Amino acid sequence: MKIVFSKKCLEYGDPLHPENPERVRLAYEYLKDRNYEFIEAKPASEEDLLLVHTPAHIERIKRGNFWDPDTPAYKNIYEYALLSVGGAIIASRELAFSLMRPPGHHAGRDGLALGAPTLGFCYFNNIAIAVKKLSKKTLILDIDTHHGNGTQEIFQGSEDVIYVSLHTRGIYPGTGLWSEGNCYNYPLPFGTTDELYLKTLEKALSSIDLSEIEIVAVSAGFDTLRGDLGGMKLSVECYREIGRKIGELGLPVFAVLEGGYTRRLGECIDNFIQGIEEAR
């Protein structure tokens, strides 16, 4: 699996904020040494954003005309966010992994989604835009420790998308406590370890009808790692098993980075990709 990346995504941020350039820089350095092939990210267009977001939300981000304690109005954030969306779009076409920031799965149509208090480090919903642009029957599998409330809001009731999320119960954004229609949520307890997580993932994937699904899109958050923000306690090795279970579906797969805030992010991504490749 190739990796979509641009060093431009390292140009903004606050070193005291969890979603800072260092997390992706360290991951890039690790993966570069593992001899992955890299594809340069290109910015999305405003037309791409309009597939998912309202003109009002796009304009707020473009002008920096918003205040969000989790999601700062950094200088030129609109351009950086466009580049992250573009990375997801390229990943969907190349069946690659987009190693870009900012993340996206908390951003709803008009920004805040399903009653969440903030945008949760997200400006535009990268994976949702990529999926909309593909126009294929898609399974979106969200493995971030936080529920992808924006992605659920965008695709709730869609006949073309099945959304499945495994996440920690009781943390930000406080959504995803039950399944609704085409959106299947699996809230897990604080402190979840490999065995329960993998058993739940297997249950989730085996309980949905994949007969018409053409592609799998993974919201790849690695903040489920022991010691990260979300309270789960997965091992680095668990991501190989997660990747293997996804690969065993026998469908094309692409992935887009969401969370993951430790210095071991690169190892987690490497294991995840290797698991997918081993299952093919």
Mean pLDDT estimate for the chain: 98
Q: What mean pLDDT do residues 217-227 have?
A: 98
Q: What mean pLDDT do residues 239-249 have?
A: 98
| Tens of pLDDT, residues 161-195 | 999 999 999 999 999 999 999 999 999 999 999 99
**Whole-structure pTM over 0.85, yes or no?**
yes
Confidence of residue 280 (pLDDT cuts 50, 70, 90): confident
| Tens of pLDDT, residues 89-100 | 999 999 999 999
Catalytic residue from among 106, 146, 147, 167: 106
Q: What mean pLDDT do residues 109-117 have?
A: 97
Confidence of residue 261 (pLDDT cuts 50, 70, 90): very high
For the chain, percent of residues with pLDDT exceeding 90: 99
Q: Is 106 among the residues known to form the active site?
A: yes
Give me the domain span that covers residue 118. Answer: 3-279
Q: What is the pLDDT of residue 204?
A: 98
Tell me the DSSP string of the chain. --EEE-GGGGS---TTSSS-HHHHHHHHHHHHHTT--EEE--PPPHHHHTTTS-HHHHHHHHHT----SSS---TTHHHHHHHHHHHHHHHHHHT-EE--SS--TT-BTTBS-TT-SS-TT-SS-HHHHHHHHHTS-EEEEE-SSS--HHHHHHHTT-SSEEEEEEEETTSTT---SS-BTTEEEEEE-TT--HHHHHHHHHHHHHSS--TT--EEEEEE--TTBTTSTTS--B-TTHHHHHHHHHHTT-S-EEEEE----STTHHHHHHHHHHHHHHH-
The CATH number of the domain where 19 resides is what? 3.40.800.20
Overall domain count for the chain:
1
